[in-house]
A and B are shown apart, each in its own frame.
Chain A
C-alpha cells in the first residue's frame, strides 16, 4: 500500500520542531523513518503531518561527561555500533546496535526513534533497561530526564507526551570490573529479537557485587530480571551459579508473553533461561 496524504515540515531547530508539533495536532516526528514509513504504508497510523527532525545537528553525536555517556537522539544504529567510545564505555549497547536488522536498517534507524517507538522486539530498550539509562526529553524548551524504567510503559507505549521530543539517551559509563553483554535469539530475516537478554555484571574481589539483567523480545516491555539479579549478587561466578541464576528467570517473565507465527510464547519461555545464561556467561568473562 501507499502512504496516505500528509504534509511534510522540516524543522530547522529543536525549538521550531516544538512549535510545529504544537501547530499540527496529531503530527508525528520523522527521524530515520524506519518504523514510521512502514506504519504509514500499512495505514496503521494516518498523521496529518510529519515533522522532519532528521537534520538537527543538536541531536547528533556521542559525548562523555562525568562518567555519563550522552548519545544524541539522531545517532544511527550504525554509528552506535562503530563508536569506539561506546565500545569502551557501554559495550552492550554497541553490541546490540550492531545486531539490529541489516546494514540499510542500521544506516537509517536512530536510537531516539527506536526508544520512542518502543517495539518489544527491539534490542536497545532491553540494553537501556539493564544499564539504567535515562531518556532526555524536551517540551516547550525545557529538558527533563526520564529513567528507562519509567519511560517504557508497555508495548509501543512510552511516557512521552504529545509534544515531547526525545533529545538524547544518557547511559552511565561502565566502571572497572564491570562486564556487559547482549545476546539475542532473533528472527533470522528481520533479526528482530525473539528473546534478548542484556547483562551487566560487576566483579569485586572475585564475587559478583552487582548484577543487572534485562529481557526483551518475549515480554511486552523490556523488563529487569530481579530474581536472576538476586540469585547472582554476592555469589562467586561459576558455571553452576550462572545456570542456577538463569533458571530463576522464569519467575520474572509474568503471564503476558509474546508469541507469533515464528516463535510461540512457549518456545520463548523455554528460551529465556538459555539466553540469559549465555549473556551472563559472556558478561562474567568480560568482567574478569
Chain B
C-alpha cells in the first residue's frame, strides 16, 4: 500500500512531469473504476424559481437547500453560508418579500415563489440607496455577513421606512457580524448624522475619512470569496474527525467508503504522512495523527463528486479507537501522573528543546515585597474562545502538471505559499496562493491551515480540482481559538501608590500542539522595579489554541489590570490617578518608546468620559440595578519589518499598486491605495490595488500582528519615492510604456520600542435580580500614531471593543469534563455578540508624532480588544463590590458572586 509522504509526494510529482497520465495511488483501485454518479440517485423535483425577477426552471434534489441552489446551481454566490444551521444570518434572502434563512429552506419549498438576493439590489453598476449608505458608513469590514445585513435591512425599511435605532437592532438581530461592525451597520440603516461618516465625496489623502475602495464589491455580492470559486470537474472533500479527546487509532478501514459510487479518493494516516509544519512549531503534526489528541483531530478525508456523497462516505469509514486518558486543564496536565500528550511531557519546550517555563525578571522580587505596605494576591482563569469569523475555512486546490494553485482565505499569501511548499516538498515558485476576498479571521487564518494541505493532497490523488469546506463546527474545533489561562498574581505597593513588586505565575493551555506562544502579556504596561513572570505553555487535550486578535493580551491584561484596580481600591486611590502614576514610561522600564501617549490617552479618556464626576469608590449598594464605572489600558507592538511593494504607472496615468495583502476586513487595500495616492500626489480614483495572488504580488508580511499598514505601507512609500525619482528623470510614461518601481524595506529601530496604546472607560449596569450586565457607555481612546483613515480605523476600534465585550460577558467554548467533548461549538452555543448586545462605542484618537512607519502610523487592528475585559471586570467591581475571577462574567457567576 502506497504512503503519501513528503518524499513520495515529490517523487510522484516528478514522475508526473514525465508521464502525462496521472498515476493515482494504488489503494484507490476500487473506487476509481466505478461510475461517478451515485448509484441510487436521490429523489428530485422540477421547480420554478423567480430569482431577482428572472425565472429559472430547475431539477433539484429534494434535500437541497435554497442556499445550495442559489450558490452552486445558479451561481449567485453573493449569498453566503456562515453556519449552515440558521444561526448566523449570512444566508438571509427574501422569499416573496419576507426574510428567510436560505440555508434552512428547502429549494423545493420555494417552488413558484420569488426570491430576492443581494445581486438584485443594484441596477447594473448603480448601487441602490441602501448600498450607498453601507459604503459611506463603512458597513462591511470583511463583508461576509453584508449580504444578509442588506437583505434584513431592506425588508425592515420596506415595512418601517423611518426606524428607530432599537428597531434597526431588532430588525437585524438575526445577522451576526463577527467583525462586530454593528455600530456601522445601524448607522447605515438609520443614515442619521453619525459623528464620522462622510456625507459627501471624501478627500483622498491620508487623514481623511475614506470609504473602502472595494466596498462596492462587498455590498453587491460581486466580491469573490474562496467558497465562491467553482472549477470545472471540481470535487468536494470532507474530513472525518476524532470523537475522542485522546485515543490511539488502532485501525482505519477506508474501503467501505472507497466502494461508494461517486467517491474518488480517501486518505488517512494509512496513506498520508504529510507533516503540517505551521500546525506545530515543536512536534511533528501530521495531517492525520496517531494518537488523536483532541475532539476534532482529523482521521481521514474523502473527495467525492458532491458534498452529499462525500458526507455519506465519511459515515462509511470504520475507525477502531483505543481511548486514552485525557487532561483539559493546563495545571492538571503538569501534575505528576498526568497523561503524556506529546513525547517528553506536557510542558511545551522552549526553543532548542529546553523543558522549562518562560521566565522574565528584573530587580529583586523579595526586596520589592519587603518594601511594600500592601501586598495583594489573587488568581484569574480565562477560557478558550473561538475566533468565529463569519467565513469558515475553505480551500480549493488544483494541480496544473507540477504546479499547485490553492485558493484559500489566508491572512498571508506569502507565508501560506512558503508553508505549502515546505510541507509538500515543492519549490515555492511551483505554489500559487490566491485569496481575492476573505470573510474575517482575527488570527484564525494565519498562514497555511491543514485544509489547504488536505485539499492539495486530494487534488493530487484524484487529478481533479478539490474544494474542502469546513463546517461551522469544524471551524470551531479544527482550527484554533484563544488560549485559556490561569494566572496567579502577587503585587506589592507602598502606601503612596508606588508599585514595588509584581509576580505572575501563569499557565496557558495550548491544546495538544504548539501553534503559537501561549504567552500572558500585560505586566509590561506598568513601571515597577521588581518583576518576575513565569509562564507555562502547556499541552492539553482541548482543541488547539493559537492566535486570536491580540493573542496574549486581553486575558493577561484582565489579570494585571484587575490587580491594579484592586490595589488602587485598597489604597483608596482613584484608579485614573493610580494609572497615571504607574503606567509604563519606557518599555520594561528600560527601552525608550519611539513615541508614547498612554498617559495622554488616560487623561483624555477620563475627561471625555467625565470620570471625575462618575467614579466613586466601589461598594455594594442595595438598589436592584447597580451602576459602576471602570477603566483599563492596553498596548500592542507596532514594530517595523520586511515587506515589499511594486508600483506600476501606466501611460494613461493610472497607478497600479501590487502588494501581497489579502484584506481580512481591516481595509488594508484601501490603506495601501491611500498611501500610494498621498506619496504620488494622485487622486485615489487613479490608483488601483493588485492584491491577493502570489503570482501577481511581491512578498508581503502576513496580516497578523497588526503589521500590514506599517510594514507593507513602508514598502509602498519607498517604491513611490523611487517612482517619483524616475518621473523626474524620465518624465511620465506614454502609450504602452510603464514605469515600474519595486521596493523591499526592512527598517530597523535601534534601541527603541514602538508601541500603540489605548485607554478604555466603561459605565455599566448590573441587574442584581438576574445577574445581567448592560453596558451603558463605552469610551475608547487610542494612540496608533497617525491615523491614515479615521473611518476604517474607528471601525476597527468599534469591532475590537465589541468582540471584547462578548469575551467578558458570555463567550466560552465549554467542555464536558467527564468526556472531554466540547459542548457548544457554534454561534448560538458560544454566544458571540449580536446587534442587540452591542452598545455604541465612542472612539477617540490621540495622534503623537512618530518618526517610523508610513507617515508615523502604528498598529490599529489588535489594540482595541486588549483593555476591554479588564475595563468591564473593573466596572462590575465598582458597581457591586465583587470581583469575578473566572471568565466569562455570565449571569450565574455574577449572581453567585453577589450571593
Contact = CB atoms under 8 A, between A and B. Distances in A.
Interface string B45-75: 1000000000000000011010000000000
Interface in A1-43: 1-8, 10, 30, 33-34, 37-38, 40-42
A54 to B, nearest CB: 6
Interface string A66-107: 000000000000100000000000000000000001111101
Interface string A42-60: 1000000010101000000
A278 to B, nearest CB: 9
B45 A8 contact: yes
A52 B110 CA distance: 11
Interface string A265-283: 0110011001000000000
Nearest to A267: B892
B837 A33 contact: no
A107 B151 CA distance: 14
B770 A185 contact: yes
A6 B62 contact: yes
A207 interface: no
B63 A3 contact: yes
A182 to B, nearest CB: 17
Contacts of B836: 188
Interface stretch (A138-146, A224-232, A256-264): A256-264
Nearest to A41: B85
A80 B814 CA distance: 36
Contacts of A54: 109
A185 B891 CA distance: 11
Contacts of A107: 95, 98-100
A208 B151 CA distance: 47
A262 B831 contact: yes
A33 B105 contact: yes
Contact of B63 (A2, A262, A270): A2
Contacts of B45: 8
Interface string B751-775: 0000000000000000001110000
B155 A103 contact: yes
Contacts of A271: 770
A187 B156 CA distance: 23
A213 to B, nearest CB: 18
B173 interface: yes
From A7, A102, A271, name the one whose CB has the most chain B CB atoms within 10 angstroms: A102
Contacts of A5: 42-43, 62-63
A221 to B, nearest CB: 22
A54 B100 CA distance: 15
Contacts of A102: 89, 173-174
Given A50-B62, A52-B108, A103 B769 contact: no
From A10, A38, A40, name the one whose CB has the most chain B CB atoms within 10 angstroms: A38
B108 A189 contact: no
B31 interface: no
B100 A104 contact: yes
Contacts of B311: 1-2
Contacts of B43: 5-8
A10 B471 CA distance: 30
Given A34-B86, A188-B834, A261 B814 contact: yes
Contacts of B65: 3, 37
B86 A188 contact: no
Contacts of A274: 769-770
Contacts of B100: 104, 107-108
Contacts of A50: 62, 106
Interface string A230-259: 000000000000000000000000000000
Nearest to B60: A8
B832 interface: yes
A35 to B, nearest CB: 10
Contacts of B814: 261
Contacts of B171: 103
Interface in B22-49: 42-43, 45
A21 B499 CA distance: 76
Contacts of A185: 770
Given A78-B98, A261-B814, A108 B832 contact: no
Contacts of B62: 5-8, 50
Nearest to B772: A185
A40 B64 CA distance: 12
Interface string B91-123: 010010011110011101101000000000000
Given A37-B104, A267-B771, 20 more contacts: A2-B307, A5-B42, A5-B43, A6-B62, A8-B43, A8-B45, A33-B106, A33-B109, A34-B86, A34-B104, A37-B65, A38-B86, A103-B156, A103-B174, A104-B92, A105-B174, A108-B105, A188-B834, A266-B892, A270-B895
14 contacts: A10-B111, A33-B105, A37-B104, A37-B106, A103-B99, A103-B152, A104-B89, A104-B92, A108-B100, A189-B827, A190-B87, A263-B892, A267-B771, A267-B892
The 8 residue pairs across chains A and B that have the minimum distance between CB atoms: A102-B174, A8-B62, A107-B98, A267-B892, A7-B43, A3-B63, A190-B828, A5-B42
Interface of A: 1-8, 10, 30, 33-34, 37-38, 40-42, 50, 52, 54, 78, 101-105, 107-108, 185, 187-190, 261-264, 266-267, 270-271, 274
